[in-house]
Amino acid sequence: MKRQGQLVRWESARGFGFIRSPDISADVFVHLRDFVDRGVAPQVGMALRFDEIHVGGKGPRAMAVEAIGATHRRPAGPPPPIPASARHRLPAAPERHRRREAAPAPSSALLFIVLALGYVALVGYGVWTLRIPVIAVGGSLLVSLLAFFVYGFDKNAAETGRWRTKESTLHLLALIGGWPGAWCAQRVFRHKVRKAGFMTVYWATVLAHITAVAAWVLRFLPSGLTAL
């Protein structure tokens, strides 16, 4: 569907930005390659016409973007400001674009340290009692490393407008043992840490995985130890 709006953010070094339209509640992602006329240099405040599409449930994206009434190309002066008369008609920038600049909560790090120490002790006991094979520990480390890189790829895809990784895939990697790598990636790439719904499910997968490992290791404890 054809829409009109203004370019309210542009990252010239990365070649992407966001369009704000009074017809759409969320800012619309736009990439440099989505412009029909490659000779027009995108600038904040530029009026644009575009096709609105949705890919993978990750928010609106602009395609076939055209500058409205563009009479010059690559101007040397500073970008024109957004007219004050138009600002009150435009919806506020969505929270998902502002939260990427915020730092993760310290309490999350403390929770991770506590769970990680308990998990290491649990797995160590399982290996010592031969209830967890060493090869399973190696496999868990590989899954954790895979989760780290998948988060990194998804962060890059979000910034460049490429195909995103489903959140269900990220949660599955955490559930099968990749939760330490996923947590590290969330902090390194500043990805998903301020999305409350996602983080709630993430911590649920962490607890589910640790509970499953504990059930496997501790259910065969000798009767003498269980009585203590």
Model pLDDT, residue 106: 60
Tens of pLDDT, residue by residue over 83-98, are 554 444 444 444 444 4
Model pLDDT, residue 90: 43
Residue 134 CA from chain centroid, whole number: 33
Judge if pTM exceeds 0.85.
Answer: no
User: What residue ranges do the domains of the chain occupy?
Assistant: 2-98, 102-226
Q: How far apart are the first and last CA of the chain?
A: 68
Model pLDDT, residue 56: 64
Tens of pLDDT, residue by residue over 2-13, are 888 989 999 888
| Angle of the 196-218 helix axis to the 106-128 helix axis, nearest 10 | 20
Greatest Cα pair distance in the chain: 86
Model pLDDT, residue 63: 83
Alpha-carbon gap, residue 93 to 44, rounded angstroms: 14
Superfamily for the 2-98 domain: Nucleic acid-binding proteins (2.40.50.140)
CB atoms within 10 A of CB 178: 27
For β-strands 2-11 and 16-20, DSSP reports them as: antiparallel
Helix, strand, coil share (%) of the chain residues, nearest 5 = 50, 15, 35
Low-confidence ranges of the chain (pLDDT < 70): 1, 56-57, 70-107, 220-228
Beta strands in 32-161 (DSSP E): 47-54, 60-67
Tens of pLDDT, residue by residue over 124-134, are 999 998 989 99
Q: Which residues pair with 17 in a beta bridge?
A: 10, 30
